[in-house]
């Protein structure tokens, strides 16, 4: 018999709560493997940003859903070297950093709880994921978007640790940041994300749970690379 050659998993799903380190490690993993890095939170943030910029009533599920179905969100190679992983465009406007604002953070969980919005975005995510060669990051990748993913990792960290990371990140970008405020908002966002009726935040039955509280970025990366082998 010939020797078995192990190829890395073609579809990798990284899920977990806000600021659990998914994006950082996902990007690094994707670059190393030559895969597409797809951060699905971008899409929920972009829909929220559009709704806010159009002064839409966020409580109007039908209107927000119709908009999510119609709007084209473009994700392209980065054209600026300012720490972004990609350019995010809506109607030719660059909203890469706008979608990271506190205002979007405050409302995104409401938008992400709408079944019609999720259906529209999940369909697009799944189509891209099924091509393979992808590291997809989100809340429901292993459970809903790509249940057949070759490797599923669910990353956790305490709310305090995640708030500390987010605080450091914002401060490094020169933005104003208040740790206590971040912590309470993060706990609230986790609560909405994990208790919503459609695709709540939870690990898939076959996901590997990785507690990153006492790990640095490199250790998390090395651990997932090991799992890929
Ligand atoms: O990962 P993030 O912080 O950029 O995600 C923003 C919001 O989008 C988050 O509150 C939950 C939602 N989200 C989701 O419901 N499903 C995903 N696959 C990704 C994000």
Does the beta carbon of 52 lie inside 6 Å of ligand 1? Answer: no
Does the beta carbon of 88 lie inside 6 Å of ligand 1? Answer: no
**CA angle 220-150-137, nearest 5°?**
50
Say yes or no to pLDDT of 14 above 50.
Answer: yes
Sheet of strand 87-90: strand arrangement? 73-76, 87-90, 93-94
Q: What is the pLDDT of residues 90-103, one digit of tens each?
A: 988 999 999 998 89
The fold of the 11-223 domain, in CATH, is Rossmann fold (3.40.50)
Say yes or no to pLDDT of 64 above 90.
Answer: yes
Q: Is there a contact between 153 and 207 (Cβ–Cβ < 8 Å)?
A: yes
Other CB atoms within 10 A of residue 49 CB: 24
Beta bridge partners of 39: 137
Dist. CA 105 → ligand 1 center (Å): 10
Say yes or no to pLDDT of 158 above 70.
Answer: yes
Does the beta carbon of 200 lie inside 6 Å of ligand 1? Answer: no
Average pLDDT, the chain: 92
Q: What is the pTM of this model?
A: 0.91
Residue 38, helix vs strand vs coil = strand
**Mean pLDDT on 166-187:** 90
**Mean pLDDT on 43-54:** 97
Q: What is the pLDDT of residues 208-226, one digit of tens each?
A: 999 999 999 999 999 999 9
Does the beta carbon of 109 lie inside 6 Å of ligand 1? Answer: yes
CA-109 nearest atom, ligand 1 = 10
Does the beta carbon of 212 lie inside 6 Å of ligand 1? Answer: no
Say yes or no to pLDDT of 205 above 60.
Answer: yes
**Structure confidence at residue 2 as a pLDDT band (50, 70, 90):** very low
Q: Is there a contact between 149 and 228 (Cβ–Cβ < 8 Å)?
A: no
Q: Is there a contact between 47 and 67 (Cβ–Cβ < 8 Å)?
A: yes
In angstroms, what is the C-alpha Rg of the chain? Answer: 17
Does the beta carbon of 40 lie inside 6 Å of ligand 1? Answer: yes
Supply the pLDDT for residue 1. 47
**Mean pLDDT on 146-165:** 96
Supply the pLDDT for residue 5. 61
Q: Domain limits of the chain?
A: 11-223
Does the beta carbon of 41 lie inside 6 Å of ligand 1? Answer: yes
CA-122 nearest atom, ligand 1 = 18
User: Residue with the nearest Cα to atom 2 of ligand 1?
Assistant: 41
Mean pLDDT lowest for which of 5-9, 128-132, 157-161? 5-9
Give percent of the chain above pLDDT 70: 97
The token pair at 20 is 């659990």
Supply the pLDDT for residue 184. 94
Say yes or no to pLDDT of 4 above 80.
Answer: no
Which is nearest to 18 in space by CA: 142, 167, 173? 167
Exposure of 203 in the CB half-sphere (CA atoms within 13 A):
13
**Mean pLDDT on 143-158:** 96
CA distance 46 to 87: 12
User: Residue with the nearest Cα to atom 6 of ligand 1?
Assistant: 41
Supply the pLDDT for residue 3. 54
């Amino acid at each position: 018999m010939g020797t078995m050659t192990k190829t890395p998993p073609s579809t990798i799903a990284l899920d977990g709560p806000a600021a659990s380190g998914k994006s950082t490690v996902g990007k690094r993993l994707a670059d190393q493997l030559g895969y597409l890095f797809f951060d699905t939170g971008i899409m929920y943030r972009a829909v929220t940003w559009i709704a806010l910029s159009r002064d839409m009533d966020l409580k109007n599920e039908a209107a927000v859903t119709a908009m999510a179905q119609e709007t084209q969100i473009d994700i392209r190679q980065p054209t600026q070297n300012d720490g972004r992983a990609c350019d995010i465009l809506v109607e030719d406007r660059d909203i890469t950093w706008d979608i990271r604002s506190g205002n979007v953070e405050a409302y995104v969980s409401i938008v992400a709880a709408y079944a019609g919005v999720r259906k529209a975005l999940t369909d697009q995510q799944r189509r891209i994921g099924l091509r393979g060669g992808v590291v997809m990051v989100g809340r429901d990748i292993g459970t809903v978007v790509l249940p057949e993913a070759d490797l599923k990792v669910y990353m956790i960290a305490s709310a305090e640790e995640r708030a500390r990371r987010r605080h450091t990140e914002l401060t490094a970008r020169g933005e104003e940041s208040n740790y206590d405020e971040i912590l309470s908002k993060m706990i609230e966002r986790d609560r909405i994300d994990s208790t919503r009726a459609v695709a709540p935040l939870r690990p898939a039955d076959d996901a590997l749970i990785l507690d990153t509280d006492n790990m640095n970025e490199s250790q998390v990366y090395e651990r997932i690379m090991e799992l890929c082998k």
